[in-house]
Amino acid sequence: MPRMTEVKVPDIGDFKEVDVIEILVRPGDSVEKETSLITVESDKATMEIPSPAAGVVKELRVKLGDKVGEGSMILLLEASEGEAPAPQPSKAAAISAPPAPAAKPAAAPATEPAAVPIARHAPVPLEPVAEVPAFKPHASPSVRKFARELGADLSKLPGSGPKGRITQEDVQAFVKGVMTRAPVPAPAAPGGVPFNLPEWPQVDFAKFGPVELKPLSRIKKLSGANLHRNWISIPHVTQFDEADITELEAFRKESGAASEKQGFKLTMLAFMIKACVTALRQYPEFNASLDRGGENLVLKKYFHIGVAVDTPDGLVVPVIRDADRKGVYDLARELAEVSRLARDRKLKPGDMQGGTFSISSLGGIGGTAFTPIINAPEVAILGVSRSTMRPVWVGGKGGDGQFVPRLMLPLSLSYDHRVIDGAAAARFTSYLASVLSDIRRSLL
């Protein structure tokens, strides 16, 4: 039988109230005994609160910025079978916990009597702030350990956490940046200097009015670093076009009842994926990547389409695999499923890998056009904006044409100009628009 354990803040010495500055686990995470759960900070020290037992985190009872003290609930833990009930740390033990300069909580010797395992549960004080030299980067023990393991020099990292603290995401973004920089030649300015920009303005915003500090989400920090890299290292051009989807929308509405019975919507996006695959088959250089040296194009014979999903934590791009082998109902069902997983934060890293082309649809929200950023190492991304009913001049070059109401869908295709020429991009969007205007073309 699983047993629920209430994990509380142990004795934290003289401090009555400390701030929760990092939450290191999420519901559903499996933790080992001693895995750090949260980091708290007083005006003198930062410390991590380790788990008193192995198990699965069921429910978090703290959030960033909360003030906690001894006995405050941190989380509910479903202890693994065979785990002894977790004793609450005593004051004496917490006080006697040795300051641990290394990130790892002090491991108890195997011979330690079972009755006094408290030292293992005691918070692990980090370097007291007062002792930190001015130049020493500010980071928690686990972040220092993480950086050490990856060989990242903390003194080179800007911290995005409160008071400039370096977070695990900062280290990840830094390492990712270093790893991905090599294959992509940095754009050189005249004189061979990659960038020679003035320093970022340092402004004390609070001088001009009240402000509030809101930390960026983990997803935003990670995707922000990638978006920045892609934006500065790929020469983007965006081709705008529009597709007449009057018939397609009528067909979608007619066909929607069957999917609604099965609990999902037959969305326009499912048809977009289908139409994009048809266009990608016709123009294979859009379903490709540059190789590491930037001298060859790797043409992919599979069609894995990334779809940008807006979540409360930021943008994620799950990948619909083998979209060429799926019908629109299957695509619509899968889209509903990945959007749900994305919003519930349940996507796995593998669900977001292997894409060959991406679609970003803001059509459900609004706007007439935008310039999406290419999801490297892909070479193109299609932005879709809101369709509108508009008068369109139809037929009659000799004066016998007329304006008719048509449902027009705006398309914005950003492409890597190192790989794709403007003419090819215009052909791609024209062809895509023709497929959307007559979806039977995707059968051909």
Using CB under 6 A as the binding rule, whether residue 310 contacts ligand CAO is answered as yes
Q: Considering the complex, what minimum distance in angstroms separates the CB of residue 275 from ligand CAO?
A: 13
Closer by beta carbon to ligand CAO, 92 or else 389: 389
28: left (phi over 0), alpha (psi -120 to 50) or beta: left
Q: Which stretch binds ligand CAO (CB under 6 A): 18-26, 126-134, 190-198, 306-314?
A: 306-314
Using CB under 6 A as the binding rule, whether residue 372 contacts ligand CAO is answered as yes
Closer by beta carbon to ligand CAO, 368 or else 402: 368
User: On the CB side of 420, how many CA atoms lie within 13 Å of its CA?
Assistant: 32
Q: How far is CA 380 from CA 57, 91, 176, 417, in A?
A: 40, 59, 22, 9
Active-site hit among 138, 228, 236, 417: 417
Among 333, 363, 425, 433, binds ligand CAO (CB under 6 A): 363
Radius of gyration of the chain (CA): 27
Q: Considering the complex, what minimum distance in angstroms separates the CB of residue 215 from ligand CAO?
A: 20
Closest CA to 18 of 41, 2, 36, 35: 41
Q: Considering the complex, what minimum distance in angstroms separates the CB of residue 361 from ligand CAO?
A: 4
| Beta-carbon count within 10 A of 187 CB | 11
User: Dihedral angle at the C-alpha atoms of 11, 15, 17, 21, nearest 10 degrees?
Assistant: -80
Q: Which stretch binds ligand CAO (CB under 6 A): 92-100, 158-166, 280-288, 303-311?
A: 303-311
Using CB under 6 A as the binding rule, whether residue 387 contacts ligand CAO is answered as yes
Q: Considering the complex, what minimum distance in angstroms separates the CB of residue 357 from ligand CAO?
A: 14
CA triple 275-276-282, angle to 5 deg: 95
Pairing of strands 380-384, 357-361: parallel
Using CB under 6 A as the binding rule, whether residue 376 contacts ligand CAO is answered as no
Give me the amino acid identity at 170.
Answer: D
Contact 92, 69 (CB under 8 A): no
Using CB under 6 A as the binding rule, whether residue 424 contacts ligand CAO is answered as no
Using CB under 6 A as the binding rule, whether residue 386 contacts ligand CAO is answered as yes
For residue 417, indicate whether it is catalytic: yes
User: On the CB side of 275, how many CA atoms lie within 13 Å of its CA?
Assistant: 25
Determine whether 309 is exposed, middle or buried from the number of CB atoms within 10 Å of its CB (0-12, 13-18, 19+). Answer: buried
User: Which SS3 state, helix, strand or coil, does residue 411 take?
Assistant: strand
DSSP string, 192-243: S-S--PPPPP---GGGTS-----PPPHHHHHHHHHHHHHHHHS-EEEEEEEE
Closer by beta carbon to ligand CAO, 140 or else 358: 358
Among 308, 380, 411, 439, binds ligand CAO (CB under 6 A): 308
CA triple 399-400-404, angle to 5 deg: 110
Closer by beta carbon to ligand CAO, 39 or else 387: 387
Q: Considering the complex, what minimum distance in angstroms separates the CB of residue 286 from ligand CAO?
A: 18
Q: Which stretch binds ligand CAO (CB under 6 A): 33-41, 105-113, 277-285, 304-312?
A: 304-312
Q: Which residues in 222-346 belong to E strands, given as ranges? A: 236-244, 288-290, 297-299, 305-307, 309-311, 314-316, 319-320
Q: Considering the complex, what minimum distance in angstroms separates the CB of residue 366 from ligand CAO?
A: 9
Using CB under 6 A as the binding rule, whether residue 408 contacts ligand CAO is answered as no
Among 62, 275, 328, 362, binds ligand CAO (CB under 6 A): 362
Residue nearest to ligand CAO (CB): 363
Q: Which stretch binds ligand CAO (CB under 6 A): 38-46, 109-117, 379-387, 418-426?
A: 379-387
Q: How far is CA 84 from CA 3, 11, 105, 228, 298, in A?
A: 10, 21, 19, 48, 55
Q: Considering the complex, what minimum distance in angstroms separates the CB of residue 196 from ligand CAO?
A: 28
Contact 377, 289 (CB under 8 A): yes
Closer by beta carbon to ligand CAO, 20 or else 277: 277
User: Dihedral angle at the C-alpha atoms of 8, 11, 12, 14, nearest 10 degrees?
Assistant: 140
Phi/psi for 417 (5° steps) reads -70, -10
Using CB under 6 A as the binding rule, whether residue 247 contacts ligand CAO is answered as no
Positions 60 through 119 that interact with ligand CAO (CB under 6 A): none
Q: Considering the complex, what minimum distance in angstroms separates the CB of residue 368 from ligand CAO?
A: 11
How many residues sit close enough to ligand CAO to count as binding (CB under 6 A)?
Answer: 21
Site string for ligand CAO, 258-297 (x = CB under 6 A): -------x-xxx----------------------------
Closer by beta carbon to ligand CAO, 311 or else 434: 311
Catalytic residues: 417
Residues in touch with ligand CAO (CB under 6 A):
265, 267-269, 307-310, 315, 335, 339, 360-364, 372, 384, 386-387, 409
